C-alpha cells in the first residue's frame, strides 16, 4: 500500500475516532435540568384561604396571584406590566399621583359543582411546576376528583384554565370586580363571554390619559348567566376557560374591544395542544440558559430555592412593556390587616395598593436587572432600556431649557415617562434632587449588555445615545477646579449625603463609563466623540481617599467638608459595585477591603449592596451570610417562599431577591475584561454544585463543583477556555 495513502487513511480514521470519542464525552456530560428543577417545585396541601397565600405565575407581561379558597374555588388576580391607572383625585402625595398606579385588571373565580372539597378533610394539592410554568390543582378523591391546570401562554397574551374531572361536573367562572363605579366598566349582555375594562379619568396625567386595560373571558361550552358569570351549558368532564387581557393607549372603548376581538381570533386559530407545547418549549429553553444548584445542608437548599424562584418571578414579569416594579412587581395582593409601620393603625388595602407608589427608583430597580446578564436573560433587560431611552428626548429638552447646555440625566425617582425638576445650585437640598448617578449606572449596565451580546444595533441605537448624553451632562453641567479637574458641586452622594463636594459614586461612575466608551470599537463611535471622551477623562478627579483607624479607605465625598448623613448607605463602595474599579484581579484590593470592613452600615436584605460587594472582594464568609439571608427572607404574612419581606420597600420586595441572585452569581463567577474568574468567593461547605452561567462575548461557562474543586468544565466557545481562572486550584 502507498505510504502516503496509508498515512492519510490512518489520520482520517484517527480523526473520526477522536471525534466520536469527543461526541461521546459531550453526550456523557449533557445536563438534565428537569429533575433538579422538579426538586424545587412548590407544593402545598392546604388551600388559601386568601390572596396572601397565593402562588405567582406569568408570561413576562401578564401575571397571576393564584390561590384556592377552602370551599375549593380557584381564584386569581390578573396583573399586567402596562396596566397604568391614575391615582384618585383626592390623593395628597404628588409623587404617587405623578407616577401612576400599576393596577390589577381584576379577579377571576372558578367554581366546580358538585364541590370536590365539600367534605371536611378532602384531599388537596397545589403545585407550581417550574419547568413547564404551570400550576396544577387537584381537589377531592376517587369519582369526585377534579384537576385544574393554569398557565399563562409564554407566546401569546392569554390565560388558560383547563379542568378535568372523573365524572361530569358543572364549571362556573365569575369576574369579581371591586372597582365598578371607579373607572371600571362591565359590558352588559355579552353573548357567552364576559367583557370588562378600566378607563383612566379625564383628570389623569397626559401620559396616563387614554389608557384602557381589561379583558374578555370565554370558552367553548360556556354560556352567559349574567354580566359577570359564565357557566357550562351541561355537565362536562373537561372544560377550557380562556382570559384575554389587553391594554391600549389612545383608542376608544369600541376600538379597544375590536382590537381585542381581533387578537382573540388570531390566538384561537392555533390548536390548544400546539400552543401548550410551544409554551412548554419556551420555558424549557429559558431554564437551559443558566442554572445554579447548590447541594448540601438546609441552607444550601434554601439558597438554591430562593435563587431559582426569584429568577422565575422576574421571568413572569420581565418581558412586558415596562420594567419590573421593585415594590411588589405585578404580584401585590390585598390585605385587610395592613400596617405600613408598627405604630400605624391597621387599614384594609386592595390589590392595587403598593407602598412607595408607581414611580421607578433606579437604585432599587437595578437590583433585578444586573443578575440578568450572567443568567442569560437578555430579553428581560429590554423593557428597562426602552423605558429610559423613551425618557431621553424629553429630559434632554428640559436640561437645555433649565441650564442652557446639552446632555441628559435621569431622576433617581421617576414615572415611566421621565421628566426632571429644575435643580440648580440654589435649590434646597433633598433626597433625590441633586442626584445624577442613575444615567451612569444604566450606561455601565448597557456597556455590559453590549459586551455579553455583541449587539451592535443595540450599541448604536440605545447604549450610545444614553451614555453619550450622560457624559455630556456631567461635562457641561459642572465647572472645573483650580487644577482643571471636574468639580462636582453641588451633587448628592446618592441619598446619603446631600449637596456634597465631588461625591464618590459619580466620580467612580465617570471613570468606569468614560474608559469603557473610549474602548468601544472605532466602527461604533466617531473621532470627535472619542477625542471629547479622552479630554474629559483626563479632567476627572481621583476618588477621595482618607484614613480610618490607621488604614487607608475610600471616602464618600472629597474633603474638607462635613455633610450630614441622611440614609443607611455606604456610597464610597460604589467604586466596588456597581462601577467595579476595585476587585480581586484589580490594583489596590486591600484599599477596597479596608473600606468595606470600615463601612458604617451593615444592614442585611432589601436594597443593601453588601452581598455583591463582599463577593466581589473575595470575602467568602460575609458574602455567604448576606446572600443566604436575602434568599431566605420570606415575608411572614405571605405563603410563597420567594415573596420577600417588605424591608424598606413593599412585599414582595423584588430588589431583595435580585441582590441575592447577583451576590450568589458573583460568589461563583466574576468577570474582568476577558478574564473569567471561577469560585472567587465560594464556600467550601458548598462543595457539590452544578452551574451554568453566561459571560461576555457570547460565552457560556458550565461545570460542577465536587468536594470544593471545579470539574467537568465546558466553556462555549471553546476558545474562551484559556480566559478562565480557576481559583479552586489555590
Percent of the chain past pLDDT 70, that is, above it, reads 95
Residue 1: per-residue pLDDT: 40
Residue 120 — pLDDT band, cuts 50, 70, 90? confident
Residue 6: per-residue pLDDT: 38
Q: How far apart are the first and last CA of the chain?
A: 53
Residue 29 — pLDDT band, cuts 50, 70, 90? low
Sequential DSSP letters for 547-558: EETTEEEE-SB-
Residue 92: per-residue pLDDT: 67
| 584-600: average pLDDT | 97
Residue 89: per-residue pLDDT: 67
Strand 184-186, strand 479-480: pairing: unpaired
Beta strands in 643-687 (DSSP E): 669-672, 675-678
Query: Which phi and psi angles does 83 have, rounded to 5°?
Result: -85, 65
User: What is the per-residue pLDDT across 638-669, written as a single tens digit (0 to 9) for each?
Assistant: 999 999 999 999 999 999 999 999 999 999 99
β-pair partners for 633: none
Residue 2 — pLDDT band, cuts 50, 70, 90? very low
Residue 531: per-residue pLDDT: 98
Residue 87: per-residue pLDDT: 84
- CA atoms of 635 and 238, how far apart (whole Å): 37
| pLDDT(365) > 60 | yes
Burial class (CB in 10 A: 0-12, 13-18, 19+), 670: buried
| 176-188: average pLDDT | 93
Cα torsion at 610, 611, 614, 618 (round to 10°)?
-170
Residue 706: per-residue pLDDT: 95
H or E stretch at 151: strand 146-152
User: What is the per-residue pLDDT across 684-718, written as a single tens digit (0 to 9) for each?
Assistant: 999 899 999 999 999 999 999 999 999 999 999 99
Query: Which phi and psi angles does 196 have, rounded to 5°?
Result: -150, 155
Residue 85: per-residue pLDDT: 96
Mutual angle of helices 504-518 and 527-538, in 10-degree steps = 140
| pLDDT(370) > 80 | yes
Cβ neighbours for 504, distance < 8 A, ≥ 6 positions apart: 493, 543, 544, 554, 555, 556, 557, 571, 572, 574, 575
Q: Is the dihedral of CA 95, 99, 102, 103 positive or negative?
A: positive
H or E stretch at 701: strand 699-706
- CA atoms of 730 and 728, how far apart (whole Å): 5
| 547-575: average pLDDT | 95
Query: Which phi and psi angles does 488 have, rounded to 5°?
Result: -85, 95
Q: Which of 261, 369, 271 is nearest to 315 (CA)?
A: 369
Residue 93: per-residue pLDDT: 67
How far is the CA of 115 from the CAs of 10, 225, 363, 454, in angstroms? 74, 19, 48, 56
| pLDDT(17) > 90 | no
Q: Which of 549, 457, 637 is nearest to 52 (CA)?
A: 637
Residue 96 — pLDDT band, cuts 50, 70, 90? low
Amino acid at each position: 500500500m502507498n505510504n502516503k495513502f496509508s498515512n492519510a487513511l490512518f489520520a482520517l480514521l484517527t480523526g473520526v475516532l477522536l471525534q466520536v470519542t469527543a461526541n461521546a464525552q459531550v453526550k456523557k456530560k449533557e445536563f438534565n435540568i428537569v429533575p433538579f428543577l422538579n426538586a424545587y417545585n412548590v407544593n402545598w396541601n392546604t388551600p388559601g384561604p386568601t390572596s396572601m397565600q397565593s402562588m405567582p405565575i406569568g408570561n413576562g407581561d401578564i401575571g397571576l396571584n393564584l390561590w384556592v379558597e377552602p370551599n375549593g374555588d380557584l381564584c386569581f388576580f390578573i396583573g399586567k406590566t402596562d396596566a397604568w391607572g391614575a391615582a384618585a383625585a383626592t390623593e395628597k402625595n404628588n409623587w404617587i399621583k405623578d407616577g401612576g398606579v400599576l393596577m390589577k385588571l381584576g379577579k377571576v373565580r372558578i367554581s366546580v359543582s358538585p364541590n370536590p372539597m365539600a367534605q371536611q378533610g378532602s384531599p388537596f394539592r397545589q403545585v407550581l411546576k417550574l419547568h413547564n410554568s404551570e400550576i396544577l390543582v387537584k381537589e377531592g378523591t376517587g369519582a369526585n376528583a377534579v384537576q385544574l391546570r393554569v398557565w399563562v401562554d409564554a407566546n401569546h397574551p392569554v390565560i388558560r384554565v383547563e379542568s378535568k374531572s372523573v365524572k361530569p361536573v358543572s364549571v362556573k367562572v365569575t369576574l369579581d370586580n371591586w372597582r365598578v363605579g371607579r373607572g371600571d366598566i362591565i359590558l352588559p349582555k355579552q353573548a357567552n363571554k364576559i367583557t370588562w375594562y378600566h378607563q383612566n379619568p379625564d383628570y389623569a396625567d397626559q401620559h396616563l390619559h387614554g389608557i384602557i386595560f381589561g379583558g374578555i373571558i370565554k370558552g367553548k361550552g360556556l354560556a352567559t348567566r349574567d354580566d359577570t358569570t359564565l357557566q357550562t351549558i351541561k355537565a362536562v368532564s373537561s372544560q377550557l376557560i380562556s382570559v384575554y387581557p389587553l391594554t391600549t393607549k389612545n383608542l376608544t372603548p369600541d376600538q379597544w374591544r375590536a382590537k381585542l376581538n381581533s387578537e382573540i381570533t388570531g390566538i384561537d386559530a392555533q390548536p390548544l395542544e400546539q400552543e401548550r407545547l410551544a409554551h412548554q418549549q419556551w420555558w424549557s429553553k429559558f431554564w437551559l440558559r443558566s442554572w445554579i444548584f447548590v447541594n448540601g445542608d438546609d441552607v444550601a437548599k434554601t439558597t438554591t430555592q430562593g435563587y431559582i424562584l426569584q429568577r422565575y418571578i422576574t421571568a413572569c414579569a420581565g418581558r412586558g412593556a415596562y420594567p419590573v416594579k421593585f415594590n411588589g412587581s405585578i404580584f401585590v395582593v390585598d390585605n385587610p390587616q395592613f400596617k405600613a409601620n408598627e405604630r400605624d393603625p391597621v387599614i384594609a388595602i386592595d390589590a392595587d395598593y403598593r407602598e412607595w407608589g408607581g414611580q421607578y427608583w433606579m437604585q432599587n430597580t437595578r437590583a433585578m436587572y444586573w443578575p440578568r446578564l450572567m443568567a442569560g436573560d437578555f430579553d428581560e433587560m429590554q423593557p428597562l432600556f426602552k423605558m429610559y431611552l423613551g425618557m431621553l428626548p424629553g429630559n434632554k429638552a428640559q436640561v437645555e431649557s433649565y441650564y442652557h447646555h446639552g446632555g441628559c440625566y435621569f431622576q433617581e425617582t421617576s414615572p415611566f415617562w421621565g421628566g426632571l425638576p429644575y435643580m440648580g445650585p440654589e435649590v434646597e437640598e433633598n433626597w433625590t434632587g441633586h442626584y445624577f448617578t442613575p444615567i451612569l449606572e444604566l450606561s455601565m449596565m448597557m456597556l455590559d449588555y453590549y459586551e455579553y451580546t455583541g449587539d451592535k444595533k443595540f450599541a448604536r441605537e440605545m447604549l450610545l445615545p444614553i451614555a453619550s448624553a450622560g457624559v455630556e451632562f456631567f461635562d457641561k453641567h459642572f465647572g472645573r477646579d483650580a487644577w482643571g479637574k471636574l468639580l462636582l458641586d453641588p451633587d448628592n452622594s446618592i441619598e446619603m449625603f446631600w449637596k456634597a463636594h465631588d461625591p464618590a459614586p459619580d466620580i467612580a461612575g465617570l471613570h468606569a463609563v468614560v474608559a469603557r466608551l473610549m474602548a468601544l470599537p472605532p466602527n461604533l463611535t466617531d473621532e470627535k466623540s472619542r477625542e471629547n471622551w479622552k479630554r474629559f477623562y483626563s479632567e476627572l478627579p481621583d476618588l477621595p481617599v482618607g484614613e480610618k483607624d490607621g488604614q487607608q479607605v475610600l471616602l464618600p465625598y472629597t474633603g474638607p467638608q462635613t455633610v450630614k448623613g441622611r440614609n443607611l448607605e455606604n456610597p464610597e463602595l460604589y467604586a466596588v459595585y456597581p462601577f467595579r474599579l476595585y476587585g480581586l484581579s484589580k490594583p489596590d484590593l486591600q484599599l477596597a477591603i479596608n473600606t468595606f470592613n470600615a463601612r458604617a452600615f451593615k444592614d442585611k436584605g432589601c436594597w443593601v449592596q453588601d452581598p455583591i460587594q463582599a463577593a466581589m472582594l473575595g470575602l467568602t464568609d460575609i458574602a455567604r451570610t448576606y446572600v443566604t439571608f436575602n434568599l431566605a427572607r420570606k415575608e411572614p404574612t405571605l405563603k410563597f417562599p420567594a415573596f420577600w419581606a417588605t424591608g424598606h420597600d413593599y412585599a414582595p420586595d423584588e430588589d431583595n431577591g435580585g441582590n441575592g441572585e447577583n451576590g450568589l452569581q458573583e460568589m461563583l463567577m466574576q468577570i474582568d475584561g476577558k478574564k473569567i474568574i471561577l469560585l472567587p468567593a465560594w464556600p467550601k461547605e458548598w462543595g457539590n454544585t452544578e452551574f451554568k452561567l453566561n459571560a461576555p462575548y457570547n460565552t457560556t461557562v458550565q461545570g460542577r463543583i465536587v468536594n470544593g474543586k471545579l470539574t467537568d468544565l465546558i466553556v462555549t466557545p471553546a476558545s474562551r477556555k484559556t480566559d478562565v481562572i480557576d481559583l479552586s486550584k489555590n
